Homo-oligomer: A and B are copies of this chain.
């Protein structure tokens, strides 16, 4: 089965039906993919980092953990994870974060702008974009609470597999930020598979 490719610094949206599996692949290594999920039947129900951290009782989500919605329903279950290091604290990079963190560099729409454009046909507006589940993003929290953004630990071919627990609209990017991928913009691949 041939994966679909998300070109560097861009994003896509698609439907993922209950039981289908989404595999997010880092084809070259050291790249981040921001993942959003909405209830297809009512897109006001959306991925929530707060509910997920509350119910899963960890910020280091990996195989076996579930991603929850703002209405306390499970949207996705992580079935397989060859990296074990993802982030669910930070918002998608955006024009605002580029201006904030990289004032001397060219501004890009970022994952936020790419997600907004890809999700617009589903009736999802900018203000409905919460914190994404940032696949492969490496955000250690120090004992003093300080947050760092380090290059991902993912190597070429590393992947995370998520099973849909309801019919979803998914947003997915190949990240545009400088810090999150060590300054090298790369593609992201993904596969959708039916159950069984």
Q: Is the interface of A mostly helix, strand, loop or mixed?
A: loop
B90 contacts A60, C-beta separation under 8 Å: no
**Which of A50, A70, A127 has the most chain B CB atoms inside 10 A of its CB?**
A50
In the complex, what's the smallest C-beta–C-beta distance from A145 to chain B, in angstroms?
Answer: 3
CB-CB under 8 A from A48, the residues of chain B are 91, 130-131
In the complex, what's the smallest C-beta–C-beta distance from A47 to chain B, in angstroms?
Answer: 11
A72 contacts B97, C-beta separation under 8 Å: yes
B51 contacts A91, C-beta separation under 8 Å: yes
Give which listed residue, B60, B96, B130, B145, contacts A58 with CB less than 8 A. B145
User: Copy number of this protein in the oligomer?
Assistant: 2
Give Cα distance in the complex from A94 to B69, angstroms. 13
A91-B59 CB under 8 A given contacts A70-B127, A127-B70: no
In the complex, what's the smallest C-beta–C-beta distance from A59 to chain B, in angstroms?
Answer: 5
A141-B59 CB under 8 A given contacts A48-B91, A127-B44, A130-B130: yes
B50 contacts A145, C-beta separation under 8 Å: no
In the complex, what's the smallest C-beta–C-beta distance from A36 to chain B, in angstroms?
Answer: 12
A50-B141 CB under 8 A given contacts A72-B97, A127-B70, A146-B57: no
Give Cα distance in the complex from A146 to B60, angstroms. 7
B50 contacts A130, C-beta separation under 8 Å: yes
Give which listed residue, B45, B49, B97, B100, contacts A131 with CB less than 8 A. B49
A50 contacts B127, C-beta separation under 8 Å: no
